[in-house]
Structure 1
Amino acid sequence: MPSYTAPAKDMSFVLHEMLKVQDADIPGFNELEPDFTSAVLEEAGKIATNVLQPLNEVGDKAGCTLENGVVRTPAGFKEAFDEFAAGGWNGLDCDPEYGGQGMPYTLATATGELFSGSNMAFTMYPGLTHGAYSAIHAHASDELKAKFLPNMVDLKWSGTMNLTEPHCGTDLGLMRTKAEPQGDGTFKVSGQKIFISAGDQDLTENVIHLVLAKIPGGPEGIKGVSLFIVPKFIVKDDGSLGERNGVSVGNIEEKMGIHGNATCVMNYDEAEGYLVGEEHKGMRAMFTMMNEARLGVGMQGLSQAEAAYQNAVIYAKDRLQGRDVTGTKNPDGPADPLIVHPDIRRMLMNQKSFVEGARAFVLWGAMMLDKGHLADDKEAMGIISLLTPVIKGFLTDVGYDMTVQAQQVYGGHGYIEEWGMSQFTRDARIAMIYEGANGVQALDLVGRKMAQDGGKHVMAFFEMIKNFIGENKDNEDMADFTNPLKEASKDLQAVMMYFMQEGMKNPNAALAGSTDALHMFGHVCLGLMWSMMAKSANEALAGDHSDPDFYKNKIATGRYYMARMLPATKAHQARIMSGADTVMALDADAF
């Protein structure tokens, strides 16, 4: 069975040496002293390794079942959920007014990676609850917040998001679920939703569904969508639970992965619901949840790649196969370990350099979000808005690929269920699809985010890179980082110019290159993260430190990314600038 070890040391490096969170001028960050964050990460790591990870294979093999309308989660999930809830992990960054601990989102993101890396399917139950909490907290009335949030923060109740319907996925303007006003402030919600993660379970007393629906007589399309709280059980005025609401599980989907999470078909039959925010403004409220979820999904891509990488390293060191062409390394054995071979090293370095760069990117992005929310920094919010589709799309595309490479290290054993490596690949696969398929993320980046506010945020992003390169231009130790970063940034800027010049004349020219553009952005972002980490590692080596090998290895891993991974921007640029003609050459009936 695969194992999992919390990468707490690497997280501490990113938080305190690269990002210097304890010195950041952001409300609440002064509490993030190294001793404090280390204690939090250590405790989270214990739960991840000792409680959640042993249930990962259990959940994968057993899955969830539907018995007489009741969803049953795998054995052990309930006990683990109760322990997770008792630790207050869901409320780490939630509002103290509703029982949360008020810590920055950045710290919750770090612990979230540990939980997801150890058991992604399990972690989706509290993760979706947190997302629903955020949407209600940001947009609901004080009355609704007081009624629902405290029990969601402490995980007595869970939460979901209900968007997709059988006939419409991304195009939510086509939805048919309706909400009839009752004249007393409540609505009767009727319709069917599909692909609802954590749609029901036997872990909590109540499930608080956030449901998108249309109020009759409202505007057509997406402008007529509203958001409603629809609880599984009616909540009485005194906070106790009343009768079962008109919501039921029609089916549990059979899926490729995340078997331990119940993905449900949800039926609403005149279920009592309560409007969140304004009528016909549901997408604005739901996007609060979706944007947080997209950052979380990007982190899922990273977490599965990390877990798969850890096990691939163990196997590569243990498995004896062939001899090192430069000389025998294991003379007392029949063969040398796999890790001596350059192609195995290549795959492991691909994984290691991606995982560590992606971790820095996710935590940097979470800090930008904190800076935007807690310090009211509009520029930070603009940059994280620009890069949210990159975090989601790039990290899940490449994270999935890295789980495949981890399987490949095992050879045939990677394909055999006994070794457990396929689960990481199967679980990671969904992250490329839900919360907006990655093709949609690419369209959002190219069609909306890059031009947002007159393009000021993309220009601020390039200025950030330019300033970093300028600050380090005379530092010889940084040349292996700043030079490739400068080159890749120029590639990305050239593509931006191409989109501006050609996109107006032929929109397909931009859209056909959107996924390549998203990946270019992703590589440049990881190039920036690696440059920042290299600077911090060099500073540590020049000063007092207790672990020189850690910093030397960090720099060596970063050099690999800059030399072997970052040049992919050239290929993406060539594809984009070839235009749309080859993509659109065939008539539809030629396929």
Structure 2
Amino acid sequence: MANYVPPVEDMIFLLSNVFDFDRQMAALPGFEEVNTDLAASVLEEAGKFAAEVLEPLNRSGDEEGSRLENGEVVTPKGFKEAYKAFSEAGWSGLSGDPDYGGQGLPRTLQILTDEMVSSANLSFGLFPGLTRGATEAIGHHAGEDLKALYLPRMISGEWTGAMALTEASAGTDLGLLTTRAEPQDDGSYRITGTKIFISSGDQDFGGNIVHLVLARLPDAPKGVKGISLFLVPKFLPDADGSLGARNGLSAGALEHKMGIHAQPTCVMNYDGATGWLIGEPHRGLAAMFTMMNAERLFVGIEGLGVGEAAVQKATAYAKERLQGRSLDGSRPLVPIIEHPDVRRMLLTGRVLCDGARALSVWTALQMDIAGRHPDAGVRNAADGFVALMTPVVKAAFTDFGFETAVLSQQVLGGHGYIREWGMEQFVRDARITQIYEGTNGVQAMDLTGRKLPMEDGELAPRFFALVKESLQSAALVPGAEAITTATAQALDRLERSTAHILARAEDPAEAGAAATDYLRLFALTTLGWCWTKMTVAALSAGADAAPAIRRKPALAAFFAARILPQTLALEASILNGPDSLMALTADDF
């Protein structure tokens, strides 16, 4: 199979030609010296590491898997050395807080780096990804002593992080969790309980493993309002950071999973483990959501990364595999990429991945603006866009990634089902991204039930106005008519569906029944906007642009003709309401 090729050229096109990265950064205090040239050098090096160090471990890591020996996790051959190299090269601290040793680079570069790491080795990427999410929660909510002790070592990669939410009886409904936290005289707490599905819960890289654990204090009210967040390390560090005694937590088992075999997904036992409160008592879920929202965006990028790797390899195969006659019958044997249905599958994966990458860059730029812009109004507006896009990125990108992996496997036919070709691993690995960090159905309900009512129902229309502005200017560009018209029609459907849901906001069945279809309608329309912007930029780049850029208008035309028509059916389904879903009683199923 062909090796993974980091799409750095496309990333730089998005930064420089589509989203005016240099101008955006110049307006953000602390980022004035960040520009496209710097971004290119960072992304090129990140791509080399992903392709040369991480991808070679992907299949072997999947086949060997992590294992539990004498109560300790052993990761697959090469992972320990790769993680050390990753940390020593500074990738762990790419966007980390400079006050604690991070490089402080924009979230935009972090997300693009995350994509390449996810393409090369999804299991590996969870170690630094979860650590970064934990540092964000600690940085926003912990006291100064905890931040000073833990953040420098986590940002450097010396220590890793994990989050421990789920219990056997408390998954999506965290209000059911039973893990207990008993206060101690020295200000610490004793944490007792069992958590399941804990990614990166243990490893053999050395250093500490910092768990963020949701638990209940003795006086906690019932439900989610009684949850507190605690920092629980594997080893109790001394004041200077040196590792002391082993804490009372252990990996009781590793989950036997469909995919991401190299990633140790642990059952974690906390047996009176020492922990420290992060944030306020009974306000742990709010603090944990700092990490969860960061991780949901990260998981969306994981989906994109797997889809990109899969469609790359399927495209290379389709150019080499000889099967069937040419369409005109003049040649008895041609590469399968000449067959229309193979092209349909490859083009679908390509337009979904390229469109998702564009939306990920725009969303990351909004995160950078929300964090640094000197104007509070601009910061708040950008923060609203990030909130709106979080469930869309998580759910749509992971749906697209899985769909692309399945289509890419189909391109290979029987070879796609055989392990040594590597495609079946993409399908297995991509599947979890639709499930963890909140299932995609939960993300869809978050969009319809929580995000649409934000700003008195004006958040989504504020975004739609931004899209309309782009479409109006793009309509004047020769060669952009097809994608502009199709996107404008999809936006009309999205606006009607939005009004329909908001008008029935008092009926939970209405939003719940519409949720999944609405999120896909929202995502496809938004990708149409991104394809419009890419088309205009590519047409402006001219005939001297690289082939990957010159093909953008043709890809946009495919997206307009073959993907955006899905929005017709999605709108119809939404407007049909919940009655057909709710007609049967539970016993009728």
- TM bin (shorter chain): over 0.9
Matches within 5 A, 1:95-244: 95-244=97-246
Describe the SS at the equivalent of 1:248.
Answer: strand
Describe the SS at the equivalent of 1:470.
Answer: helix
User: 2:39 — aligned with what?
Assistant: 37
User: 1:66 — aligned with what?
Assistant: 68
> In the alignment, is the contact (CA less than 8 A) between 1:158 and 1:204 conserved in 2?
no
User: 1:344 — aligned with what?
Assistant: 342
User: 1:589 — aligned with what?
Assistant: 587
Shift of 1:277: 0.9
What amino acid is aligned across from residue 216 of structure 2 in structure 1? K
Shift of 1:477: 2.8
Q: Percent identity?
A: 48
User: 2:533 — aligned with what?
Assistant: 532
> In the alignment, is the contact (CA less than 8 A) between 2:483 and 2:559 conserved in 1?
no
> In the alignment, is the contact (CA less than 8 A) between 2:133 and 2:295 conserved in 1?
yes
Q: Distance in 1 between matches of 2:2 and 2:335?
A: 19
Deviation string 1:460-482 (CA, Å, 9 cap, x unpaired) is 11111121122333333322122
User: 2:575 — aligned with what?
Assistant: 577
Matches within 5 A, 1:187-586: 187-328=189-330, 335-375=333-373, 376=376, 377-504=379-506, 506-541=507-542, 546-547=544-545, 549-586=547-584
Shift of 1:533: 0.8
What amino acid is aligned across from residue 68 of structure 2 in structure 1? L
User: 2:29 — aligned with what?
Assistant: 27
Q: Distance in 2 between matches of 1:96 and 1:510?
A: 43
Q: Distance in 1 between matches of 2:206 and 2:385?
A: 37
Describe the SS at the equivalent of 1:271.
Answer: strand
Shift of 1:325: 1.4
Shift of 1:30: 3.3
Shift of 1:585: 1.6
Q: Distance in 2 between matches of 1:388 and 1:291?
A: 7
> In the alignment, is the contact (CA less than 8 A) between 2:75 and 2:204 conserved in 1?
yes
Gaps of 5+ in 2: none
> In the alignment, is the contact (CA less than 8 A) between 2:167 and 2:196 conserved in 1?
yes
Q: Distance in 2 between matches of 1:462 and 1:274?
A: 44
Deviation string 1:318-361 (CA, Å, 9 cap, x unpaired) is 10000111244xx5xx6111001011011110011111001111
Describe the SS at the equivalent of 2:91.
Answer: coil
What amino acid is aligned across from residue 513 of structure 1 in structure 2? A
Describe the SS at the equivalent of 2:221.
Answer: coil
Pick closer, same or farther for the CA change 1:497–1:34 going to 2, 3 Å. closer
Q: Distance in 1 between matches of 2:97 and 2:299?
A: 23
Deviation string 1:302-327 (CA, Å, 9 cap, x unpaired) is 10000000110111011000011124
> In the alignment, is the contact (CA less than 8 A) between 2:93 and 2:155 conserved in 1?
yes
What amino acid is aligned across from residue 365 of structure 2 in structure 1? M
Pick closer, same or farther for the CA change 1:560–1:27 going to 2, 3 Å. farther
Between 1:178-187 and 1:385-394, the stretch displaced more is 178-187
> In the alignment, is the contact (CA less than 8 A) between 1:2 and 1:419 conserved in 2?
no
Q: Distance in 2 between matches of 1:559 and 1:29?
A: 36
Deviation string 1:342-399 (CA, Å, 9 cap, x unpaired) is 1101111001111100111111111111111121510011011011100001111121
Q: Distance in 2 between matches of 1:552 and 1:343?
A: 23
Q: Distance in 1 between matches of 2:30 and 2:527?
A: 27
User: 1:16 — aligned with what?
Assistant: 16
Q: Distance in 2 between matches of 1:365 and 1:532?
A: 14
Report the TM-score when normalising by structure 2: 0.97
> In the alignment, is the contact (CA less than 8 A) between 2:348 and 2:404 conserved in 1?
yes
Q: Distance in 2 between matches of 1:83 and 1:444?
A: 38
What amino acid is aligned across from residue 391 of structure 1 in structure 2? V
Q: Distance in 1 between matches of 2:328 and 2:31?
A: 51
Q: Distance in 1 between matches of 2:287 and 2:208?
A: 22
Describe the SS at the equivalent of 1:359.
Answer: helix
Describe the SS at the equivalent of 2:214.
Answer: strand
User: 1:79 — aligned with what?
Assistant: 81
> In the alignment, is the contact (CA less than 8 A) between 1:393 and 1:442 conserved in 2?
yes
> In the alignment, is the contact (CA less than 8 A) between 2:457 and 2:502 conserved in 1?
no
Q: Distance in 1 between matches of 2:549 and 2:256?
A: 45
Q: Distance in 2 between matches of 1:44 and 1:451?
A: 39
What amino acid is aligned across from residue 317 of structure 2 in structure 1? Y
Shift of 1:546: 3.6
Deviation string 1:430-487 (CA, Å, 9 cap, x unpaired) is 0000000000001100011100121121121111112112233333332212211111
Q: Distance in 2 between matches of 1:303 and 1:324?
A: 33
> In the alignment, is the contact (CA less than 8 A) between 2:353 and 2:400 conserved in 1?
no
> In the alignment, is the contact (CA less than 8 A) between 2:163 and 2:198 conserved in 1?
yes
> In the alignment, is the contact (CA less than 8 A) between 1:226 and 1:278 conserved in 2?
yes
Q: Distance in 2 between matches of 1:560 and 1:26?
A: 37
Shift of 1:28: 4.0
Deviation string 1:557-578 (CA, Å, 9 cap, x unpaired) is 1111122111211111111111
Shift of 1:183: 2.7
Deviation string 1:495-524 (CA, Å, 9 cap, x unpaired) is 1121123343x3312211100001011101
Describe the SS at the equivalent of 1:513.
Answer: helix
What amino acid is aligned across from residue 582 of structure 1 in structure 2? S
Q: Distance in 1 between matches of 2:45 and 2:502?
A: 49
